[in-house]
Amino acid sequence: MAFTGAENSIILQQKTEALLKRELILLFSIALVMGIPLSGVMASEVSPTGEIAQGKEALRALLPSEEEVSGWESPSPPRFFEPDNLWEYINGQAELYLGYGFQLVVTSDYTSREDSSSLVVDIYLMESPHHAFGIYAAERTPEDNFIDVGVQGYVGGNILNFWKGPYYVKLTSFQSSPSAEEVLIRFSRVIADKIPGSYSEPELFACFPEKNRVRMSERYIPQNFMGHGFLKNGYLVNYHHEGIRYQVFLVENSSPEEAEEAFGKYHNFIKDDSKIISHEKKSDYQKIRTRNRKKVVIFQYGSIIGGVLNMGDFPEADEIIEEILTKLRGRNLSQSGGDNDKKGFNQQSFPPLVHLTYRTFVSAVSLYAAGGER
């Protein structure tokens, strides 16, 4: 089929725009991973306005085009919300998202050309892949219907949520039916395919025991872990055995010195409300057993603080900690020769994204605290 000169020009322009969009997404993702602004200059030299503009263009490029989802159209321009006005969009959840390093969100409506069906796409840019996983995990439950989209997603009723890289994507249909679910999956795969790179859950979760582990209960809490400001980068997994529900946690610090300081503060906290049974100091770790309404065992190994909460038996808790320590020692051996404390997704480091100007302090996460439920 022959095209006129004008038609060839339009086709070339469309291909060029599509290529530029893909390159923009790739460059922005690399900047997130490496902590490098797209302008190629130091982060301190990039204006907040420029950062936001770059983020908006990258998010806009992830939205499905009308060509990619035939039969659907976007009747209005996408909207963007930043940290200082996120409450206008998700008032009841804004504080939670800000606590997980929220940077920017784009939201766009889509309507079907064939019937009255409609849906909305929300793409959240978080501070890092860890933070994107964290907010995703905070909103999933073990009972959800999980699907293979992005790193992981789930679909049910009229919603589909998934995460990949530093992005948390939420799709909501205004109809609830099998056909609506198929449309959500179709949209989600278009978006996921545009996000470059291959990712997985933080590798520190591999150090948790598998026995009695509650499926899909893994959580990453970046700050105020268990309600303590001095505990950051917390990893939590639920366990269930013979009617006993307990939790295992790890906290990743930037150095052994920081971990020892935080361990001392946590020690003082539980000492005020519990009875210290023992405090052991070994060659490469220290461990405390304490009893309140339930028994608690905590330890510090290098830059890691960890423990078992609400378990009724000290010997079993000690076995869990020994298993974790064995895995942590093996992890250190495999990562020797460099600072790998923050490594996880595909063995890459993910420094924080250049922060936008607004920040808030998230309230304590509701978790089991040492000594009982909060």
In three-state form (DSSP H/G/I as H, E/B as E, the rest C), the secondary structure along the chain is CCCCHHHHHHHHHHHHHHHHHHHHHHHHHHHHHHCCCCCCCCHHHCCHHHHHHHHHHHHHHHCCCCCCCCCEECCCCCEEECCCCHHHCCCCCHHHHHHCCEEEEEEEEEEECCCCCEEEEEEEEECCHHHHHHHHHHHCCCCCCEECCCCEEEEECCEEEEEECCEEEEEEECCCCHHHHHHHHHHHHHHHHHCCCCCCCCHHHHHCCCCCECCCCCEEECCCHHHCCCCCCEEEEEEEECCEEEEEEEEECCCHHHHHHHHHHHHHHHHHHCEEEEEEECCCCEEEEEECCCEEEEEEECCEEEEEEEECCHHHHHHHHHHHHHHHHHHHHHCCCCCCCCCCHHHCCCCCCCCCCCCCCCCCCCCEECCEEC
Specify the number of domains making up the chain: 2
Same domain? For 165 and 185 the reply is: yes
Residue 369, domain member (yes or no): yes
Lowest mean pLDDT among 93-102, 258-267, 308-317: 308-317
Same domain? For 356 and 265 the reply is: yes
Same domain? For 276 and 350 the reply is: yes
User: Which domain covers residue 251, as residue numbers?
Assistant: 203-373
The residue out of 194, 221, 252 marking a domain boundary is 194
Task: Give pLDDT, residue 51.
Answer: 78
The residue out of 161, 194, 227 marking a domain boundary is 194
- The residue among 119, 117, 122 whose CA lies nearest residue 136 is 122
Same domain? For 161 and 228 the reply is: no
The residue out of 194, 221, 242 marking a domain boundary is 194
Same domain? For 171 and 25 the reply is: yes
Same domain? For 181 and 72 the reply is: yes
CATH of the domain at 84: 3.40.1000
Highest mean pLDDT among 47-56, 252-261, 355-364: 252-261
CB 296 within 8 A of CB 370: yes
- For 172-209, what is each residue's pLDDT tens digit? 999 878 889 999 999 999 999 999 999 999 999 999 99
Same domain? For 189 and 107 the reply is: yes
Task: Give pLDDT, residue 178.
Answer: 82
Residue 131, domain member (yes or no): yes
CATH of the domain at 282: 3.40.1000.20
Is residue 331 left, alpha or beta, with left meaning phi > 0 and alpha meaning psi from -120 to 50? alpha
- For 44-88, what is each residue's pLDDT tens digit? 444 567 778 888 999 999 999 999 999 999 999 999 999 999 999
Under the banding of pLDDT at 50, 70 and 90, the label for residue 314 is confident
Task: Give pLDDT, residue 358.
Answer: 37
Residue 3, domain member (yes or no): no
Task: Give pLDDT, residue 368.
Answer: 33
Residue 234, domain member (yes or no): yes
Same domain? For 101 and 176 the reply is: yes
- For 136-147, what is each residue's pLDDT tens digit? 999 999 999 999
Same domain? For 268 and 137 the reply is: no
Under the banding of pLDDT at 50, 70 and 90, the label for residue 356 is very low
> How far is Cα 120 from Cα 158, in angstroms, rounded to an integer?
11
Residue 144, domain member (yes or no): yes
Cα dihedral: 363, 367, 372, 374 (round 10): 40
pTM over 0.85: no
Residue 2, domain member (yes or no): no
